[in-house]
Amino acid sequence: MTHVLQHVVFPLDRDPDLLPLYADPETWSVVDEQPVRVSSRAHLGNILDRRRARILAGRRVSLGTYFNAFPASYWQHWTPVRDVRLTVRTTGRATLLVYRSNGQGARQRLETREVAGDATSSFDLRLDQYSDGGWIWFDVVADDSNAVLEGAEWTTEQAPIRTGGATLGITTYNKPDYCVGTLGALADAPEALEFIDRILVIDQGTVNVEDEAAYPGVAEALGDKLRIIRQPNLGGSGGFARAMSETLDAGESGFVQLLDDDVRIEPESVRRSIVFGQYASVPTIVGAHMFDLLDRPKLHAWAEVVDEAPFMWRTLNQERMPHDFSVANLRQTPELHARLDADYNGWWMCLIPVETLKAVGLSLPAFIKWDDAEYCLRAGEAGFPTVSVPGVALWHVSWLGKDDSLDWQAYFHARNRIVAALLHSGQPEGGTLLRHSRRVDLKHLMMMQYYPVTLRHRALRDILSGPAHMRAGLATAMPAARKLAAEFPETIIHKDSGVPMRARRGRQVFGRKRTHEFDSPTGMRLRIFTLRTLAAHWLHKPRPENVEHPEVEFAKGDAHWWRVPQFDSALVSAADGSGKNVYTRDRGQYRRLLMDTVLLHRRLRREWSSLAKRYRADAEQLSSQAAWKGTFEGRS
């Protein structure tokens, strides 16, 4: 029996920004007096439908792209599949060229074949040389008349290890338009629906998905596969835990596929992730990459890890992300050919085997932040790896227009990172985590950002109270954190009402010619700067005129912790450009919060070992299905 691992597909939307992810038409350019082959965007009219594309006479189109090349190294490393067949259907006179790459991105041609008329060409490929990395792809070159790629797929005769489909769980809070868009894309993708047993929408908002105008149509198309579950806002962890629990209770699926609400999906990716999970040598968490929904050729997350010493998440090759595929395609980017192993995958899209749920439980009651990373670390310790698979991706609103370390989410950033470290860090006293946490407080204090520091201290006190606080405060921690914002004028975003706010001394500009003397301090200068600034904020009151009116103005990108503290007050643009915040020095608050920072972090370090034992002892109960059912039923 033939099993399709991956279809060659073209974009659902007629969006020219998307084409570099699917097809690379090639032209010649001249660089340094030498001819160089570069990519150009295809004409949308040559994309005939979801599977078919026209190649103009004399032109060459490469399918060595993010969504259409085959990630051979991941299939070789994580599955027992060794024999793969590429089947390409064409009409017209054309030449097919099949290539492979290695982990360094070096290209090698595997086979060339000329075709004419209605042709079906098959290429048998062996996965035995891709341990460090590498893709396989094909190009189509039209002869003296147009040719058409009628379809192509990557298949194997080997049967999957697991045959169960997936229950897809979407957690949403007041984003009904996005949710209905996702449901509509699934309804129009029978090849993906074939692998989906059930679609659960966990609606935790006040604006219901069922009230969206387009909902009845997609509900009718999806039929009894679709179910809406309403519950109070328990955050992402509460919504996804509900999807996990319902999947276990139903007993019909081999996987649960978690999906965020503010996304646009590629249905083929949903299918590919489930198929990869079915073939994985051991039960494996299969994660998706994340493209920017508002800048669609840009890839933000490839493989994510948690660094042990500071216990902090990051993307591998972070200095090279985001990667813009409209500037450099897959074949031009060697670092995208290496196999990268992940510690965890974000829950914007993540497939979890039922075996994993049964072995390690559900999500922690974390509300948001670190629930995905903690779960994958927990699963990894139990023998269930996480693989972020190339060619499996969606578009998600990126964090470029956000700064959630300054709003109510600061509580969850601080608490959940430390809780995850208490559960999983092997470093004495958490390594450098507490030092880094204290530094975060100091930077906020010097920046006159007292609200996030107050929230972070609330988080530390809750951690010190023991693990029971997590479930007890699951439904109340977020409203309490948001309510607290009213006590801090810095949280007010001053919108442009036609007369923009201005600073007394004008806007501070930091270009190549104008730099601050401490821009940016390192080594001994950093220590001297920090001590002087902390002392100055402790000793000196701000000038009255600077309290009454902002002293200076900063663009968001210039408002660094080593610049803003030199002033009594600052007008700073909001991260999303919607307005401005005013930060004003408050000596009383600063002194109190600085003392709290020192004392709380000192106590955490002193009690780290005993706290780690308490949290680890309660970890199974915190994430158990029985405990979560009590929460869903309002019993905790």
- For the annotated catalytic residues, the residue numbers are 372
Question: What is the gyration radius of the CA atoms in the chain, in angstroms?
Answer: 27
| The token pair that represents 110 in the structure block | 């595997």
Torsion of CA 440, 441, 446, 450, to 10 degrees: 130
Residues in the chain: 636
| The token pair that represents 574 in the structure block | 């909001």
Find the angle CA(110)-CA(115)-CA(120) to the nearest 5 degrees: 85
Give the span between the Cα atoms of 266 and 482, in whole angstroms. Answer: 35
Give the span between the Cα atoms of 120 and 547, in whole angstroms. Answer: 76
Give the span between the Cα atoms of 241 and 277, in whole angstroms. Answer: 20
Q: How many CA atoms lie within 13 A of 108 on its CB side?
A: 11
- The SS3 of residue 323 is strand
Among all chains, which residue has been given the structure tokens 């072995």? 359
Among 407, 454, 406, 460, smallest CA distance to 433 is for 460
For residue 488, what are the contacts with CB-CB under 8 A and spacing of at least 6? Answer: 450, 451, 454
Among 181, 149, 146, 327, smallest CA distance to 267 is for 181
- What number of other Cβ atoms are within 10 A of residue 524's Cβ? 8
Give the span between the Cα atoms of 525 and 272, in whole angstroms. Answer: 52
Among 49, 53, 67, 48, smallest CA distance to 25 is for 53
List own/partner pairs for 274-277 with CB under 8 A and 24 or more apart: 274/165, 274/166, 274/195, 274/196, 274/351, 275/3, 275/4, 275/5, 275/6, 275/160, 275/195, 276/74, 276/75, 276/78, 276/79, 276/351, 276/387, 276/389, 276/392, 277/162, 277/166, 277/351, 277/353
- The SS3 of residue 619 is helix
- The SS3 of residue 63 is coil
Q: Is 362 left (phi over 0), alpha (psi -120 to 50) or beta?
A: beta
Give the span between the Cα atoms of 17 and 296, in whole angstroms. Answer: 6
Q: How many CA atoms lie within 13 A of 229 on its CB side?
A: 24
| The token pair that represents 287 in the structure block | 């994660």
Note the maximum CA span of the chain: 85
